[in-house]
Amino acid sequence: MLKDILKPYRLILASGSPRRHQFFKDLGLDFEIILKPIEEVYPEHLKREEITDYLSKLKAEPFISELKSNDILVTSDTIVWHNNNALGKPKDEQDAFNMLKSMSNGTHEVISSICFTQKNKQKVANTTTKVTFKKLTDQEIWHYIKAFKPFDKAGAYGIQEWIGAIGITSIEGSYTNVVGLPTHILYETLINISKDE
């Protein structure tokens, strides 16, 4: 359905994430993956969705001068927000352990923004999901880190992996957001873009 609506457009996904690639495929979209390196740094005063909004727009900047009139560029960013701090991707095993230990036996938020950039306009949408972990043992945390190496994931975990199966007791909001892309936002916004033309 969406694929047919978007036929006049060239859809570009600027992400190396295999999870985001899969979601685009699951939605039946024709798309190209184009990557441009960018330093993901944001001003320290930003909080919560201000961070992900900023970074998703930042990731679009290297493309803007090259976009044609029928291009839709999709960029996205996800953080874990916990104890008034943004948890990005862990630097190493100890960093991953510290992140998971801090989230054990509590609730954190996963915040994602998606930026839709066209030649003459840009739209950013975001969403937040609350995720609660049981009390994880050190043994469970280390097993997960050693077996799954979650160094490419914000907050050092993938909800679709072992730790999600054994550790998450409740989730409030979009599941796909926690995996890495709120697909309901992607779907609705792309439909709205096609209607606006």
Residues designated catalytic? 77
Q: Which of 120, 116, 128, 127 is nearest to 189 (CA)?
A: 116
Yes or no: say if 80 and 108 are a contact pair by the CB < 8 Å rule. yes
- The whole-angstrom separation of Cα 45 and Cα 132 is 26
Burial of 108 (0-12, 13-18, 19+ CB in 10 A): buried
Which is nearest to 133 in space by CA: 169, 176, 177?
169
- On whether the CB atoms of residues 133 and 168 are closer than 8 A, the answer is yes
| Contacts for 159 with CB less than 8 Å, ≥ 6 apart | 131, 168, 171, 175, 178, 179
